C-alpha cells in the first residue's frame, strides 16, 4: 500500500526545504482545522493572525500546491464552513431534526437501495487527499493539540482522521462536475487504527488517504499519518516516517430518501492496487465472520470457555476477600473496580454538515475517558497503541446527553500468543491470537484494553440508546495488574475485549503485508 501512496504523492511539495517549510504548510492548513472552542472553519486571515511571521509567499509553487489541497478539503468538507448554517438550523430546528432523523439511519435503510444512472469510473489516485499538521512550525496549531505531558492529544488526531476520511469519500462519490449535492456520507465503522510511533509536539506531520475498496454504497478508506523529515537534504520526494495507519468504512446515502446510494466503481490499474483491493475484501470477509460469532448470537467457544473457567477459578480464591482488598495479590484487580464514567451535552459546535454530532467528536471524548481510566488503572503514563473495530449504529442529535462508561476489560497476560506468523487464516477459520510484529512476549504484561460504552439520552423523552462501544489498547510504562471479572457479565466483557484484540491484530498483519 505504501507504493500506492508514493505513486500518488505530489512531487512539487517535496521540494520544500526547512527554511520555507512552515510558510507553505500554513497556507494549506488554515481553512481545514478549527479552534478548540469552535468547529466552524476559520478563514485564512483569522488563522494567520496568530502566526503573522509565517505568512506564506503567495507566489511560490509550494504555496500554490498547498492551496489546491486546501480547496479540495473545503469542497468535500464534512464539517460546517460558515456560521449561517446554525442560524438556519435554529429557525427550523424541529423540521430539520425530523428530516435528518428520517435520513441518517444507515443500518436500518441498508436494504433499501438507490441506483443512480450516471456513474463515473474512478481510480484509486482520484480519491487521494492530504492534510498537514505542522506542530513544529505553527505554534497556534500546536496550542490546540498539545497535551499536558508535551505530547499530542490522540483524540484530536482521531477527529482529524474522521474528517479526512469523509473528504476522501465525498471526493470519490462526486460526479463528473465534482458535485456531491445529492449525497450524504456517514462513518459506518472504524476497522482499526494502529499508532506505530509516538506523535510528538516538535515535529511536522502529514496525513493522507485513498479509497482501497468499494461495494454498492460502502467504501473502505486507508489512511496514514507520517512525520515529515524536514531536516534532511533535498530529494525528489519529501522523506517521511509512518507513525499511524487506519482503516475507515464510509457509506453513501441518498440525501432525499436516506437509502443506500450506489457509488462510483473503482478502476484498478496496477498489481499493487489489485493486491490492496483483495486484502480489503479479505478483511471485510473476516469482519462478517467475526460478527456472525458475536456473543449476543452464540455462546463462547471451547477455548473461550476454558479461559472463563480459569478466570472463575481465580476469582473464587479471592471472592471472600472482596471487602478486604489489602489481602488481594499486588498484581490483581477486580474488573468492576475499574469503572470510570463521564457525561457530555452535545452542543451544536460539535455538529457535522448534516446537523448531527460529528463522529470524530465521539471518538475524541471516548479516547479521553479511556486514557483517564488507563492512567488510573496502571498508575503510570500510558501510550495509546490502537483502536479496534467498532460501528456507529445510531446518529446522535444535537442536544442529546452522552453517557460514557469506561472499564478495563482485558489484560494481555492470559492468552494471546504473540509473534505468530500464521496470517493465512482469519477469525472465521481459527482462533487468532497473533500480535503485530513489533510485539514481544514481554509486552503482554504492559498492555491492556479499555472499553468505552457510549449511550445517548434524549432528555425530553428520557429514552436511552447505545450508539457504539470503543475498545482502546494502551501500553503502560510498567507491568499492569491482571484484571479479573467476578460476574458472568464481566466475563463476557473480558471475552469480547479478547476477541476485539484478536481481530484487530489480524487486520494489522494484513495491513502490514500490503504496505
Least confident of 108-112, 130-134, 301-305, 421-425: 421-425
Same domain, 280 and 300: no
Q: How confident is the model at residue 476 (pLDDT cuts 50, 70, 90)?
A: very high
Same domain, 436 and 468: yes
* H or E stretch at 5: helix 2-8
Q: How confident is the model at residue 212 (pLDDT cuts 50, 70, 90)?
A: very high
Average pLDDT over residues 338-346: 95
**Is 365's pLDDT higher than 60?**
yes
Average pLDDT over residues 342-365: 91
Cα–Cα distance for residue pair 363/227, rounded to 1 Å: 22
Same domain, 259 and 309: no
Q: How confident is the model at residue 450 (pLDDT cuts 50, 70, 90)?
A: very high
Same domain, 368 and 270: no
Q: Grid coordinates representing 395?
A: 446518529
pLDDT tens across 39-62, in order?
333 333 333 334 444 434 455 454
Cα–Cα distance for residue pair 294/63, rounded to 1 Å: 50
Beta-strand (E) ranges in 332-485?
A: 332-334, 340-345, 382-387, 390-391, 401-411, 447-457, 464-476, 482-484
Same domain, 256 and 322: no
Q: How confident is the model at residue 107 (pLDDT cuts 50, 70, 90)?
A: very low
pLDDT for res 12: 33
Same domain, 482 and 389: yes
Supply the range of the domain harboring residue 161.
Answer: 2-291
Same domain, 201 and 299: no
Q: CB within 8 A of 87, min separation 6: which ones?
A: none
Q: CB within 8 A of 367, min separation 6: which ones?
A: 154, 155, 158, 384, 387, 452, 470, 472
CATH classification of the domain holding 94:
3.10.129.10
Cα–Cα distance for residue pair 247/390, rounded to 1 Å: 11
Same domain, 226 and 297: no
Q: How far is CA 261 from CA 173, 182, 218, 396, in A?
A: 10, 10, 9, 21
Q: How confident is the model at residue 445 (pLDDT cuts 50, 70, 90)?
A: confident
Same domain, 275 and 401: no
Average pLDDT over residues 71-76: 69
pLDDT for res 48: 34
* 3-class SS of residue 461: coil
Backbone angles phi, psi at 85, to 5 degrees: -60, -40
What percent of the chain clears pLDDT 70, i.e. is strictly above it? 69
* Domain edge (last residue) among 273, 291, 309: 291
Mean pLDDT of the chain: 77
Q: CB within 8 A of 192, min separation 6: which ones?
A: 246, 247, 386, 387, 388, 389, 504, 507, 508, 511
Number of domains forming the structure of the chain:
2
Q: Grid coordinates representing 104?
A: 441518517
Same domain, 116 and 204: yes
Cα–Cα distance for residue pair 36/52, rounded to 1 Å: 20
Our measurement of the distance from residue 21's CA atom to the centroid of its chain's CA atoms, rounded to an integer in Å, reads 28
Same domain, 237 and 151: yes
Same domain, 278 and 364: no
Q: How confident is the model at residue 328 (pLDDT cuts 50, 70, 90)?
A: confident
* Domain edge (last residue) among 258, 291, 324: 291
pLDDT for res 163: 92
* Domain edge (last residue) among 226, 257, 291: 291
pLDDT tens across 230-262, in order?
654 444 567 889 999 999 999 999 888 888 999
**Is 316's pLDDT higher than 60?**
yes
* 3-class SS of residue 427: coil
Average pLDDT over residues 382-389: 93
Backbone angles phi, psi at 368, to 5 degrees: -65, -35
Q: Does the model's pTM come out above 0.85?
A: no
- As a three-state string, the secondary structure of 102-139 is HHCCCCCCCCCEECCCCCCCEECHHHCEEEEEECCCCH
pLDDT for res 402: 95
DSSP-H helix ranges across 131-173 = 139-145, 154-173
**Is 425's pLDDT higher than 70?**
no
Amino acid at each position: 500500500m505504501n507504493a500506492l501512496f508514493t505513486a500518488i504523492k505530489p512531487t512539487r511539495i517535496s521540494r520544500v526545504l526547512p527554511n520555507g517549510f512552515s510558510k507553505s504548510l500554513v497556507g494549506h492548513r488554515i481553512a481545514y482545522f478549527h479552534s478548540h472552542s469552535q468547529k466552524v472553519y476559520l478563514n485564512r486571515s483569522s488563522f494567520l493572525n496568530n502566526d503573522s511571521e509565517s505568512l506564506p509567499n503567495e507566489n511560490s509553487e509550494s504555496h500554490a500546491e498547498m492551496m489546491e489541497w486546501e480547496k479540495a478539503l473545503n469542497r468535500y468538507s464534512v464539517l460546517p464552513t460558515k456560521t449561517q448554517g446554525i442560524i438556519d438550523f435554529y429557525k427550523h430546528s424541529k423540521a430539520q431534526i425530523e428530516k435528518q432523523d428520517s435520513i441518517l439511519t444507515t443500518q436500518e435503510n441498508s436494504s433499501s437501495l438507490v441506483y443512480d444512472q450516471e456513474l463515473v469510473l474512478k481510480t484509486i489516485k482520484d480519491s487521494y487527499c492530504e492534510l498537514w499538521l505542522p506542530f513544529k512550525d505553527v505554534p497556534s496549531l500546536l496550542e490546540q493539540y498539545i497535551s499536558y505531558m508535551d505530547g499530542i492529544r490522540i483524540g484530536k488526531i482521531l477527529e482529524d482522521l474522521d474528517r479526512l476520511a469523509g473528504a476522501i469519500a465525498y471526493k470519490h462519490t462526486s460526479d463528473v462536475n465534482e458535485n456531491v449535492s445529492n449525497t450524504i456520507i456517514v462513518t459506518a465503522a472504524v476497522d482499526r487504527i494502529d499508532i506505530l510511533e509516538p506523535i510528538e509536539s516538535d515535529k511536522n506531520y502529514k496525513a493522507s488517504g485513498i479509497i482501497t475498496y468499494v461495494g454498492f454504497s460502502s467504501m473502505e478508506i486507508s489512511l496514514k499519518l507520517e512525520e515529515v523529515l524536514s531536516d534532511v537534504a533535498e530529494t525528489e520526494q519529501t522523506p517521511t516516517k509512518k507513525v499511524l495507519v487506519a482503516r475507515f468504512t464510509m457509506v453513501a446515502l441518498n440525501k432525499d430518501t436516506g437509502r443506500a446510494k450506489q457509488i462510483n466503481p473503482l478502476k484498478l490499474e496496477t498489481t499493487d492496487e489489485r493486491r490492496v483491493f483483495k486484502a480489503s475484501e479479505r478483511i471485510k470477509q473476516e469482519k462478517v465472520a467475526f460478527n456472525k460469532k458475536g456473543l449476543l448470537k452464540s455462546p463462547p467457544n471451547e477455548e473461550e470457555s476454558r479461559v472463563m473457567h480459569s478466570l472463575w477459578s481465580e476469582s473464587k480464591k479471592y471472592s471472600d476477600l472482596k471487602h478486604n482488598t489489602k489481602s488481594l495479590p499486588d498484581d490483581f484487580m477486580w474488573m468492576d473496580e475499574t469503572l470510570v464514567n463521564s457525561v457530555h451535552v452535545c452542543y451544536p459546535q460539535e455538529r457535522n454538515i448534516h446537523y448531527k454530532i460529528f463522529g470524530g467528536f465521539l471518538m475524541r471524548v471516548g479516547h479521553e475517558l479511556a486514557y483517564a481510566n488507563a492512567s488510573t488503572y496502571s498508575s503510570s503514563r500510558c501510550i495509546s497503541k490502537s483502536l479496534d473495530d467498532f460501528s456507529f449504529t445510531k446518529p446522535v442529535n444535537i442536544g442529546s446527553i452522552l453517557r460514557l462508561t469506561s472499564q478495563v476489560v482485558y489484560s494481555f497476560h492470559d492468552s494471546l500468543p504473540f509473534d505468530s506468523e500464521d496470517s493465512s487464516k482469519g477469525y472465521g477459520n481459527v482462533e487468532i491470537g497473533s500480535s503485530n510484529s513489533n510485539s514481544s512476549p514481554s509486552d503482554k504484561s504492559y498492555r491492556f484494553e479499555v472499553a468505552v460504552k457510549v449511550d445517548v439520552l434524549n432528555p425530553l423523552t428520557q429514552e436511552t440508546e447505545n450508539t457504539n462501544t470503543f475498545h482502546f489498547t494502551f501500553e503502560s510504562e510498567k507491568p499492569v495488574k491482571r484484571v479479573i471479572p467476578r460476574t458472568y457479565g464481566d466475563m463476557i466483557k473480558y471475552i469480547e475485549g479478547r476477541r476485539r484484540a484478536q481481530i484487530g491484530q489480524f487486520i494489522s498483519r494484513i495491513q502490514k503485508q500490503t504496505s
